Structure 1
Amino acid sequence: MTDIDLSGVFPAMCTPFDEDERIDFETLQTDAQRLETAGVDGLVPVGSTGESATLTHDEHVQVVEAVIEAVDDVPVIAGTGSNNTREALELSERAADAGADGLLLISPYYNKPEQRGLVEHFRTIADAVDLPQIVYNVPSRTGRNIEPDTAVELASHENVAGYKAASGDLGQIGEIAERTADEEFAVLSGDDALTVPTISVGGTGTISVAANVEPERTCAMVGAALEGDYARARELHRELGPLFRELFVETNPIPVKEAMQIRGYGPARLRSPLSRLADEYREDLEAVLADLEGESAVDGVDASDDGAAVESDR
């Protein structure tokens, strides 16, 4: 297995669609390059934010290949999870063949396996695919929590390199970080609003939705927290807090795609059954994005012409 550094900021990328709901590969690659230039530490295409649920297997692989082709020096971690172990294994093998540097595997949804079933599911893929793999816990989407004992057991596998935490339970996240502290195992926030708290209890960074819109500022916040400068991290968290909230007023990625269109980074189109952001939320989102275009309250971060923040020492 090739090791990758799972610390820092990893945007959960959107998948742009054209007017015919086909993947807009040109915009996808431009976006990947924008994020790399902004200083992110890796990219995560075809996850929940990338509308993986409505992509065919071939489209999954094509997106992964396009992002790999677009970037120069950041790892690409492909979302390859499924509620069908065989399907997740096939997607993982195809992503590995395409050149992905790592995998993000959501826990099986809908069929709600017991903890022993979760262990078997993830181990089956880890045994077969020699890439660093991140186990993704998001009970709000899957209906099943990956318990700390399960996460710790999985961490002993050489190919299970990390845990994306989106349970909202900081106590549980801290327990997993504590109990895996002696392993080569990363605990990453999967909830933008909990990124700084997660790092404070032993986390290593974030797989972030907000970083699609504000990559430099998110990198500055995470970098400060990882360096132990929590005063600066808190200020940046407070600047980004309204955005964190607006990006989840409706199901992700509905709001972030709208934000991407407002900023000129990509279209807001989604595949059915997802729909465009409700009109009642758009004005507030526009206001938050406009506010973020002003000068940062924190030294070292300035607004750029397109509204992104630039950290001077990154």
Structure 2
Amino acid sequence: MLLDATASGLFPIAPTPFTPSGAVDFASVDRLVERYLAAGATGVTVLGIMGEAPKLEPDEALAITARFIDGFGDLPVVVGVSAPGFAAMRALARAAMERGAAGVMIAPPPALRTDDQITGYYRQAVEAIGTDIPFVIQDYPLTLTVQMTPQVIRRIVEENPSCVMLKHEDWPGLEKISALRGFQKDGSLRPLSILTGNGGLFLDFEMERGANGAMTGYAFPEMLADVVRLQKEGLREEAHNLFDAHLPLLRYEQQQGVGLAVRKYVLMRRGFIASDAQRKPGSALTPAARDEVDYLLARLARHDGRARL
């Protein structure tokens, strides 16, 4: 099943589980698959920024990808293939697709500054991996420092027929979603799936602006799936009420430098993974931070029973 512009719902960004010694924990990978499917995931994305992809050996990256592909069956698996050079990008992209991936995600390197540099980079990336591989643009200026205007995104999509999705992580970015959907209405942009990131921090209104769903890794994927579903059903108040209950934990998880540590700690507490270890170099929560997260979980449990641990 190849990724296309109709993709919607929840594509969790999967963390890479490690044992305390730093080995890949494949048993926890299998548990993540089970829990994501139970949460209502319609696909999954692996080897993203929060998946610690740069810390993996090439054979580890492909083994993790294969495990998710096997576990998700007919549902699409998107593989992050961003790399400093196109040779490594092509090797992983082709290997992942041969193994059964639905598509790949490509982030722009931080050195890009002008519109022509950005669009030229994506043309070269597509030439490298092949026009037969569907790809996702990762627009994450807060981390990648590359600023893509709606016009630049439209240009990338129109120049590259294999582009089928935007992972939207601009902040603020609601107007960007509206602009892109406006281009579709006036006929200057073909259909494009838009899934949003930023830990889900703006998912409530992103859905109302025209997003098709979420592609992020907040430690309660059930909430993300529910908000997407409720908004699609027109149940605005119910969607916002559920989202608001999770907002304190969402905010805490968005802290620069410790976000992944918070996410892995909560996933461990919830039984999704066996250990919250990161492969070095990586951060860890202090005892004070763990106490704060536990406090937020206890408060959340008053409104969402899935937070009772």
TM-score over 0.5 for the pair: yes
Report if aligned partners of 1:164, 1:187 keep a CA contact under 8 Å in 2: yes
Partner of residue 312, structure 1: none
Q: Partners of 1:39 and 1:130 in 2: how far apart?
A: 29
Q: Partners of 2:115 and 2:84 in 1: how far apart?
A: 14
Cα 1:33–1:179 shift into 2, 3 Å: same
Q: Partners of 1:124 and 1:94 in 2: how far apart?
A: 19
Report if aligned partners of 2:253, 2:262 keep a CA contact under 8 Å in 1: yes
Match of 1:241 among 243, 247, 256: 247
Share of identical aligned residues, percent?
A: 21
- Summarize deviations over 1:24-53 as a string: whole Å, max 9, x none: 111112211211122111111110111112
Q: Partners of 2:51 and 2:3 in 1: how far apart?
A: 24
Partner of residue 10, structure 1: 11
TM-score by length of 1: 0.87
Q: Partners of 1:71 and 1:145 in 2: how far apart?
A: 33
Of residues 132-141 and 167-176 in structure 1, the stretch that sits farther from structure 2 once superposed is: 167-176
Say whether 1:207 aligns with 2:208: no
Report if aligned partners of 1:38, 1:216 keep a CA contact under 8 Å in 2: yes
> Which residues of 2 match residues 114-125 of structure 1 at below 5 A?
114-125=114-125
Cα 1:117–1:56 shift into 2, 3 Å: farther
Q: Residue 199 of structure 1: CA displacement? A: 1.5
Query: What amino acid does structure 1 have at the position aligned with 2:135?
Result: Q
Q: Residue 158 of structure 1: CA displacement? A: 2.0
Q: Taking CA–CA contacts closer than 8 Å with sequence separation of 6 or more, which of the two structures ends up with the larger relative contact order? A: 2
Match of 1:163 among 156, 161, 166: 166
Report if aligned partners of 2:3, 2:76 keep a CA contact under 8 Å in 1: no
SS of the equivalent of 2:240 reads helix
Q: Residue 113 of structure 1: CA displacement? A: 4.7
- Summarize deviations over 1:228-262 as a string: whole Å, max 9, x none: 32111111110121121121224332210111122
Report if aligned partners of 1:83, 1:107 keep a CA contact under 8 Å in 2: no
Match of 1:173 among 167, 172, 177: 177
> Which residues of 2 match residues 1-314 of structure 1 at below 5 A?
2-4=2-4, 5-109=6-110, 111-127=111-127, 128-156=130-158, 157-169=160-172, 170-181=174-185, 183-191=190-198, 192-210=200-218, 213-251=219-257, 252-266=259-273, 267-296=275-304, 303-304=305-306, 307=308
Q: Partners of 2:216 and 2:11 in 1: how far apart?
A: 6
Aligned residues: 298
Query: What amino acid does structure 1 have at the position aligned with 2:80?
Result: G
Q: Partners of 2:3 and 2:72 in 1: how far apart?
A: 18
Q: Residue 3 of structure 1: CA displacement? A: 4.3
SS of the equivalent of 1:134 reads strand
SS of the equivalent of 2:215 reads strand
Higher helix share: 2
Q: Partners of 1:278 and 1:143 in 2: how far apart?
A: 29
Gaps of 5+ in 2: none
Report the aligned-residue RMSD. 2.1
